[in-house]
C-alpha cells in the first residue's frame, strides 16, 4: 500500500445550499421548520442571516428583506 492509497478515502458528498427570503422573521422560521421536517435529517454546516434592501422591479422603492442561507449535507441513503 503506498502513501497515496492510504490518504484517499471516500470522497465527501457535495454540500448543498438552501436560501429563505421574506420580510417577516416568523414566516422564515415557519419555512425553515417545514423544510427541516421534510428533509428529515441533515448535517447543518453553516447558517447565515442578513438583512438587505430589495426592490421587486428596477423602479420600485426598496424594502427590508431577511435572507437566511443554510449550507448543509443531506444524510446518506442506505
Number of structural domains, the chain? 1
Q: Would residue 48 count as lying in a domain?
A: yes
Question: Grid coordinates representing 61?
Answer: 422603492
Q: Would residue 3 count as lying in a domain?
A: no
Q: Would residue 26 count as lying in a domain?
A: yes
| Three-state secondary structure call for residue 42 | strand
Q: Would residue 2 count as lying in a domain?
A: no
50-74: pLDDT as tens digits: 999 988 888 888 889 999 999 999 8
Residue 11: its pLDDT value, please? 61
Percent of the chain with pLDDT over 70: 81
16-58: pLDDT as tens digits: 999 999 999 999 999 999 999 998 888 999 999 999 998 888 8
Residue 76: its pLDDT value, please? 72
Q: Would residue 17 count as lying in a domain?
A: yes
- In terms of residues, how long is the chain? 78
Beta strands in the chain, from DSSP E residues, in sequence order? 16-22, 42-54, 63-74
Give the structural domain span for 43: 10-74
Q: Would residue 5 count as lying in a domain?
A: no
Amino acid at each position: 500500500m503506498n502513501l497515496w492509497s492510504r490518504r484517499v478515502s471516500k470522497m465527501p458528498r457535495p454540500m448543498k445550499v438552501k436560501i429563505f427570503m421574506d420580510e417577516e422573521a416568523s414566516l422564515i422560521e415557519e419555512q425553515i421548520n417545514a423544510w427541516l421536517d421534510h428533509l428529515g435529517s441533515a448535517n447543518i454546516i453553516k447558517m447565515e442571516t442578513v438583512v438587505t434592501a430589495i426592490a421587486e422591479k428596477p423602479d420600485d422603492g426598496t424594502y427590508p428583506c431577511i435572507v437566511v442561507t443554510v449550507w448543509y449535507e443531506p444524510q446518506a441513503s442506505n
